[in-house]
Chains A and B, each alone.
Chain A
Amino acid sequence: MSDLFDDYDAGSIRRTYDEMFDRYGRVRDTYRGVHDTLEPQSTADLAVRADGLSRAYRDRGVTFALSGQERPFPLDLVPRVLSADEWRRLEAGIRQRVRALEAFLADVYGPGEVFADGVVPRKLVHSSPHFHRQVHGLEPAGGVRIHVSGVDVIRDDHGEFRVLEDNLRSPSGVSYVMENRRVMARVFPDLFGTHAVAPVDDYPRHLLGALRSTAPVRAADPRIVVLTPGVHNSAYFEHALLARLMGVDLVEGRDLVCRDDVAYVRTTTGDERVDVIYRRIDDEFLDPVQFRPDSVLGCAGLVHSARAGNLTIANAVGNGVADDKLTYTYVPELIEYYLGEPPLLRNVDTYRLEDDDQRQFVLDRIDQMVVKPVDASGGYGLVFGPDASDEEIEQCRRDVLGDPRGYIAQPVVSLSTGPTLVDGRLRPRHLDLRPFAVNDGEKVWVLPGGLTRVALPENSLVVNSSQGGGSKDTWVLADADTSFGLDLPEPMPAAARPAVPVPLQFGPADDHERHHQQQLQQQQQIETSTMTGMTERTETEEAEPC
């Protein structure tokens, strides 16, 4: 018995939902196995494991750049566990959301019925800095704009999942999901015990499948590339990993060239045609002809090639208009409007600061609010009311009044907590979850689990890795209804295996001989040593490292 969980101040005292313990301090069923494996461990054991985790990350080069410094991404030892049931609900909600946003984008860059029907104001979209006229009327191959999305969800006080934001441009973090699992299984195999955990290594295959099936029709065997800004990007590790696991080239802007509305990649044997670009650079840098003319990260002419139907850009240009935080407030309505279904996942309550009443309401209690810029990600520019200094509050108030369209406000939502190893003890720390969805045009596939981010400083609610967050391996437990393709035991066909195992071969059957020889030598030595009185001679001969 150890004291790992001593003073674990779970949700019983504070109002927040704890992932492992219920309100009465009892371990939830989903966490039973993990809890029982952890409990007998000593602090020293866990320290060794934690050390193993970070060493594994350093060796594998799983790092992210924080303010220009390369650091291993902190991975916590205690996994986050979701039951199959919880997962099914979450997955259905994410699918629904992606389908609705897909329809919304098609509408925004097409007929614009959503404006005509008065569901969202035209101004909302056209005032978004991420709305790009350049791609209006551009029909993407396969009808897919959101090939990859990451929908950030949190659990509220009641344990219900709520959507915090949508990431539809180039959500990152999926490499950590795969690496976390791999490293956890290696460093802490006992933890997995008898659980059947949904595998996460299928992701590159699904992504490749989606990129293939949304390639321009011309291409029977499409050439796919991953476009990265380069080694200095904070997510470069992820770009390289995905390219490697999909077996496609990782290119930079300078490797690409567009001629006559066709994109090519420069190779030693001449230019080769490219059909699909999975790009991990922002719209603004993608095509200097259309966007920032000083961009050296992109390649001139990509948007034209896409418009000519010769190139698929994944994710599509202009998606930012749908993950704008103000658009976010309309997503429940959009789901009803496009799909005719009630939303399965609720939003977090959000105030639109353009609205005079709502803005006044927020400004009156700004110290209890989280104010976020609508177009930023990574936790940059966020003002957290309860923690902010008077000057920050004042600055924030001025910013909001100066550009009401630029901000939204949310009441402080207490994220759920989960046990996290801090200074050798397990302590509650706040978590969120980013599941990743891949849309191939026919079906939206959601990677079981996702990236659980954890705010390492005590009581912090900001989980972004750029703000000192870590991550946890996220498990979805399989059950009878959802096996996640795990090949549960099936009888081995008798003919599949040779009846008698083929024995390994071994060297000369001289064990006997060698043994005999040894004996002789030993006898000889004993005889010599007894003669000379050096009795320890046999000992040293054997024990001495040769």
Chain B
Amino acid sequence: MLSRIAEALYWMGRYLERADDTARLLDVYVHRMVVQVNDERVGASLLAAMGLDPSELARIGDSSEGPIDLWQATEMLAYDADNPSSVVGSLRLARENARGLREILATEVWEALNRTYHELDNHVRAARTLGPHLLFQWVRDRVALVGGLTDTVLLHDDGWRFLTIGRCLERVDMTARLLGAVPATADASRWNGVLVSCGANDAFLRTYGGDIDQAKALSVLLLDPDFPRSVNYALAQAEMCLEQVDGSTGPSGRRQAQPRVSAAAREVGRIRSELAYTDPATLAADLNGTVMRLQAACAHASELVTQRYFQRASFIEWNVDRPA
């Protein structure tokens, strides 16, 4: 499979997942803030969670001083098409990658994603007047549709595996970001919000009932082997896909003293084992450290995947010697 194709699939997966997770995250934040209390620091903490500097606000033409309120943060993280980390921006990038994959992607997948892209403007316009929930709900629906199609009509070959690796790593990264934004003093209703934004509320209720605390919430979000949106599950799936795309390496005929896994698979496996074999109490006590390690591992794994599979010629700009 072509490196370029593999890479585009990988990033398509990541951006799709990012759009979905960002929409979920914002939906819960906005809902919570709207219903309860308008906390001025929330905008800044949202931006920080998404790895953005508040100074970027200037770019969307809002140069007002003072704390960033929720609506500015929403503007930037949801609607701003020029911001590649916004919901709209992520979808645009996902579609941009898919565009170069039309011969690979099943028609239905491409059409679903492309239609999403073309309808974005309408939904953004509606959301601006009638509240952002409309957009978030719609984005979640569309991403679920595209995701469902990739799982059902796409050939589950290496291409699909790269797409899935992208989705899984992004899911881990976004879950880590979300957890990093939860204050240490979070109460039950705050954790409830976190669970909802990860789509984990029903999974949680089925597991533990209505009694929410940090330890239980973390066990579902980080460790649950049966919950598809848990970090553990996503890592395991990424690991499996990495091992499968790695199947044909090594000199043939010679036995090898170590398992034939790529560095990326090792990195993903390492962080998964670290989670699985660390005392849950320790994970919870050093939540911040856990979050940082998860993010670092995702970034590292992503680099390793890129190095290993996505070889590309570095761009060379040729100077033309023009005759004077």
List the interface of chain A (C-beta within 8 A of B). 45, 48-49, 52, 181-182, 185-190, 192-194, 196-197, 199, 201-202, 204-205, 208, 244-248, 478, 485-490, 492-493, 495-498, 501-508, 510, 512-513, 516, 545-546
Whether a CB of chain A sits under 8 angstroms from the CB of B133 is yes
Contact B183 A492 (CB under 8 A): yes
Contact B209 A487 (CB under 8 A): no
Contact B192 A201 (CB under 8 A): yes
Query: Interface majority SS on A: helix, strand, loop or mixed?
Result: loop
Residue A487 contacts which of B53, B130, B190, B204 (CB distance < 8 angstroms)?
B190
Residue A504 contacts which of B37, B85, B102 (CB distance < 8 angstroms)?
B85
Contact with A along B1-38 (1 / 0, CB 8 A): 00000010011001100100000000000110011111
Whether a CB of chain A sits under 8 angstroms from the CB of B211 is yes
Contact with A along B144-175 (1 / 0, CB 8 A): 00000000000000000000000000000100
Contact A247 B131 (CB under 8 A): no
Whether a CB of chain A sits under 8 angstroms from the CB of B180 is yes
Q: How far is the CB of B108 from chain A (nearest CB, A)?
A: 14
Q: How far is the CB of B113 from chain A (nearest CB, A)?
A: 10
How distant is the Cα of A489 from the Cα of B99 in the complex, in angstroms?
Answer: 45
Whether a CB of chain A sits under 8 angstroms from the CB of B188 is yes
Contact B47 A52 (CB under 8 A): no
Q: How far is the CB of B178 from chain A (nearest CB, A)?
A: 12
Given the known interface contacts A246-B209, A501-B52, the answer about A52 and B288 at a Cβ–Cβ threshold of 8 Å is no
Given the known interface contacts A49-B130, A488-B37, the answer about A208 and B209 at a Cβ–Cβ threshold of 8 Å is yes
Given the known interface contacts A197-B35, A545-B114, the answer about A501 and B53 at a Cβ–Cβ threshold of 8 Å is yes
Contact B97 A507 (CB under 8 A): yes
How distant is the Cα of A485 from the Cα of B192 in the complex, in angstroms?
Answer: 15
How distant is the Cα of A184 from the Cα of B130 in the complex, in angstroms?
Answer: 11
Contact B11 A507 (CB under 8 A): yes
Q: How far is the CB of B188 from chain A (nearest CB, A)?
A: 6
**A497 neighbours in B (Cβ, 8 Å):** 45, 48, 180
Q: How far is the CB of B200 from chain A (nearest CB, A)?
A: 13
Given the known interface contacts A192-B35, A502-B177, the answer about A545 and B118 at a Cβ–Cβ threshold of 8 Å is yes
**B50 neighbours in A (Cβ, 8 Å):** 501, 504
**CB-nearest residue of chain A relative to B295?**
A502
How distant is the Cα of A245 from the Cα of B85 in the complex, in angstroms?
Answer: 33
Contact B7 A486 (CB under 8 A): no
**CB-nearest residue of chain B relative to A204?**
B210
Residue B205 contacts which of A193, A244, A516 (CB distance < 8 angstroms)?
A244
B interface residues, tally (CB under 8 Å): 69
**B259 neighbours in A (Cβ, 8 Å):** none
Given the known interface contacts A189-B133, A248-B209, the answer about A504 and B18 at a Cβ–Cβ threshold of 8 Å is yes
How distant is the Cα of A546 from the Cα of B99 in the complex, in angstroms?
Answer: 9
Contact B190 A489 (CB under 8 A): no
Contact B315 A512 (CB under 8 A): yes
Contact A52 B51 (CB under 8 A): no
Q: How far is the CB of A278 from chain B (nearest CB, A)?
A: 12
**B188 neighbours in A (Cβ, 8 Å):** 205
**B49 neighbours in A (Cβ, 8 Å):** 501
**A197 neighbours in B (Cβ, 8 Å):** 35-36
How distant is the Cα of A478 from the Cα of B39 in the complex, in angstroms?
Answer: 14
In the complex, the 3 A-B pairs of residues with the closest C-beta atoms, listed nearest first = A247-B209, A507-B11, A186-B133
9 contacts between A and B (CB under 8 A): A187-B131, A194-B38, A201-B189, A201-B192, A247-B204, A495-B288, A502-B177, A508-B312, A510-B315
Residue A187 contacts which of B130, B177, B295 (CB distance < 8 angstroms)?
B130
Residue A205 contacts which of B18, B38, B211 (CB distance < 8 angstroms)?
B211
Contact B36 A486 (CB under 8 A): yes
How distant is the Cα of A196 from the Cα of B31 in the complex, in angstroms?
Answer: 13
Whether a CB of chain A sits under 8 angstroms from the CB of B187 is yes
Given contacts A247-B207, A506-B84, 9 further A-B contacts (CB under 8 A): A45-B129, A185-B34, A196-B37, A201-B192, A245-B205, A247-B206, A248-B210, A492-B183, A546-B114
Whether a CB of chain A sits under 8 angstroms from the CB of B41 is yes
Given the known interface contacts A197-B35, A501-B52, A504-B85, the answer about A487 and B185 at a Cβ–Cβ threshold of 8 Å is yes
Contact B93 A507 (CB under 8 A): yes
Whether a CB of chain A sits under 8 angstroms from the CB of B184 is yes
**CB-nearest residue of chain A relative to B111?**
A546
**CB-nearest residue of chain B relative to A51?**
B130
**A506 neighbours in B (Cβ, 8 Å):** 84, 93
**CB-nearest residue of chain A relative to B310?**
A508
**B18 neighbours in A (Cβ, 8 Å):** 504
**A516 neighbours in B (Cβ, 8 Å):** 315, 317
Whether a CB of chain A sits under 8 angstroms from the CB of B292 is yes
**B15 neighbours in A (Cβ, 8 Å):** 507
Contact B35 A185 (CB under 8 A): yes
Residue B30 contacts which of A189, A486, A493 (CB distance < 8 angstroms)?
A189
**CB-nearest residue of chain A relative to B118?**
A545
Residue B130 contacts which of A52, A247, A486 (CB distance < 8 angstroms)?
A52
